Amino acid sequence: MKVKLSQAEIEKHVNSLIPDARKVLKASDEERIIFAMTDRFINHSRAKKILDYMELLLKLPRKPRMDGILLYGDSGSGKTMIVRHFFEKHFPIEDEEADVDQIPVLVVETPTEPKEKLLYDRILDEIGVPYRKNEDVLEKEKNVRHYVDLLNIKMIIFDEFHNVLNGTAIQQRRVLAAVKSLTNRLRIPIVLVGTKDVLIAVETDEEVKRRFNPYHLTNWTYDKEFLRLLKTIEATLPLRQPSYMWKNEELAKYLIEKTEGILAEIIRNIKLAAREAILSGEERITLPLLKRANPFD
């Protein structure tokens, strides 16, 4: 049921929304539902902390033994969202004066079969240059160094780095040695991203362990930081009335219990609730609406 609000309250609510959400407030229900259900970056406090540090590393002058980051957390903790946002912010640049584009940030998915050759192949694949599959490891590394310099690559992010654990102990050591070699020879920061299992691999190499600063994206708990997260998410929803989720202790605690604090699940449940709020005409998220909104429960 809609709540009657004063004009001042409505204006305050509208102004609290992100610009894109404000633009679609008067759109059709279908358009608003599509907007609400579309994935978008949520700039919460934990994401901001790691992104700020990545920005700092990107701006530092090159040097041997550059500091790196080990970003880890459970599936659904928001690692991929952070990586994607950082990459999109530093998207490849078309250089009209040069023969090649500039790639500030390169994101590479760690191969499921952890071998040095395959790691270098993945880097060259992401850069988009031809290479011979039968080249030896030293030649592949030489090619990687060449293209990193040519394209002015300033950071490499290895996603799904826990894939290293799929290999034997020897293969794991060789891949870690390759990563160390890249940090030394390329003189750029490297970010390793994966589940908490990635710690098992890194723990086996003291030098890698020292070089990569760990950042754990933990699951959320009921606290002030979580309430700020709810406020940030609410600002992305094109609902015509305020939900004040961050002021609703019962609703917030229900979300934590239902989702076990997993960010992806928190966002998914709120999106479904926003859809139900639009379809029902209620235009705000309440606890009863949140409980009935998920068609899969």
CATH number at residue 197: 3.40.50.300
Q: Is the pLDDT of residue 56 over 70?
A: yes
| 22/201 Cα distance (integer angstroms) | 46
**Same domain? 93 vs 149:** yes
Give 39's contacts (C-beta < 8 A, 6+ positions apart).
none
Q: Is residue 1 part of a domain?
A: no
**Same domain? 64 vs 138:** yes
**Same domain? 282 vs 153:** no
**Same domain? 199 vs 62:** yes
**Same domain? 56 vs 15:** no
88 CB-contact burial (10 Å; exposed 0-12 / middle 13-18 / buried 19+): exposed
**Same domain? 285 vs 258:** yes
Q: Is residue 229 part of a domain?
A: no
More confident: 147 or 1? 147
**Same domain? 35 vs 50:** no
**Residues 55-73, mean pLDDT to the nearest whole number:** 91
Single-letter code of the amino acid located at 70? L
Q: Is residue 225 part of a domain?
A: no
**Residues 62-76, mean pLDDT to the nearest whole number:** 91
**Same domain? 267 vs 153:** no
Q: Is residue 230 part of a domain?
A: no
Q: What is the pLDDT of residues 113-130, one digit of tens each?
A: 989 999 999 999 999 988
Q: Is residue 128 part of a domain?
A: yes
Confidence at 97, pLDDT banded by 50, 70, 90: low
**Same domain? 96 vs 211:** yes
Q: Is the pLDDT of residue 75 over 70?
A: yes
**Same domain? 249 vs 204:** no
Owning domain of residue 250: 7-40+236-293
Nearest to 66 by CA among 202, 210, 216: 210
So what's the pLDDT on residue 246?
Answer: 97
| 73/6 Cα distance (integer angstroms) | 43
**Same domain? 208 vs 61:** yes
Task: Report the number of distinct structural domains present in the chain.
Answer: 2
**Same domain? 15 vs 78:** no
**Residues 29-33, mean pLDDT to the nearest whole number:** 98
Q: What is the pLDDT of residues 223-275, one digit of tens each?
A: 999 999 999 999 999 999 999 999 999 999 999 999 999 999 999 999 999 99
**Single pTM value for the model:** 0.90
